[in-house]
């Protein structure tokens, strides 16, 4: 780990677990079911929250929140993964949305709240 990576990782005070759903077929019934599989757990990361406002014509501005996960490049997070983040003693659950922004020492992944994991 380089000095820059060490310095960056000191900012990562949150911890995350990434889980994917895999298709598993029962050989006797030939029924396919989706079962969760943990890819990695307790990985240092950082959440960033940004509130965005969009003004509608003639009405009050609507507020939306953008959530971004900062994570080492050493981990690959497939699209649609469930990401559970522990932040200051609270557990938050998200799903990965879209492609990650990959940089030299880290990646940035846009997240959406996991209301229902499809």
**Residue 12: inside a domain:** yes
Supply the CATH number for residue 11's domain: 2.40.10.270
Q: What is the pTM of this model?
A: 0.79
**Residue 40: inside a domain:** yes
**Residue 77: inside a domain:** yes
pLDDT at 18 over 90: yes
For the chain, give the percent of residues with pLDDT over 90. 50
Computed over every residue of the chain, the mean pLDDT equals 87
Name, in order, each residue with C-beta under 8 angstroms of 95's C-beta and a sequence gap of 6 or more.
80, 81, 82, 83, 111, 112, 113, 114, 117
Q: The domain containing residue 13 runs over which residues?
A: 3-113
For the chain, give the percent of residues with pLDDT over 70. 86
**Residue 118: inside a domain:** no
Cβ-contact 16, 85 below 8 angstroms: yes
Could you read off the pLDDT of 32-79 as tens digits, one per residue? 888 999 999 999 999 999 887 666 656 666 667 889 999 999 999 998
Q: Can you tell me the distance from the alpha carbon of 97 to that of 10, in angstroms, rounded to the nearest whole number?
A: 25
Give the count of domains, the chain: 1
What pLDDT is recorded for position 40?
A: 95
Token pair listed for 10:
């000191």
What pLDDT is recorded for position 61?
A: 66
Give the count of alpha carbons within 13 A of 58, CB side only.
Answer: 0
What pLDDT is recorded for position 116?
A: 61
Rounded to the nearest 5 percent, the helix, strand and coil shares of the chain are 5, 55, 35
**Residue 48: inside a domain:** yes
Token pair listed for 64:
């939306």
Name, in order, each residue with C-beta under 8 angstroms of 74's C-beta and a sequence gap of 6 or more.
none
């Amino acid at each position: 780990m380089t000095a820059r990576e060490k310095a960056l990782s000191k900012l990562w005070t949150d911890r995350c677990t990434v889980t994917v759903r895999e298709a598993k077929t029962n050989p006797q019934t030939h029924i396919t079911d989706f079962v969760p599989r943990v890819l990695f757990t307790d990985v240092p990361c950082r959440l960033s929250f940004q509130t965005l406002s969009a003004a509608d014509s003639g009405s009050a501005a609507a507020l939306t929140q953008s959530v971004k996960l900062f994570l080492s490049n050493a981990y690959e997070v497939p699209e649609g993964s469930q990401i559970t983040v522990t932040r200051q003693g609270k557990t938050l659950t998200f799903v990965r949305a879209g492609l990650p922004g990959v940089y030299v020492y880290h990646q940035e992944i846009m997240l959406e709240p996991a209301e229902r994991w499809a």
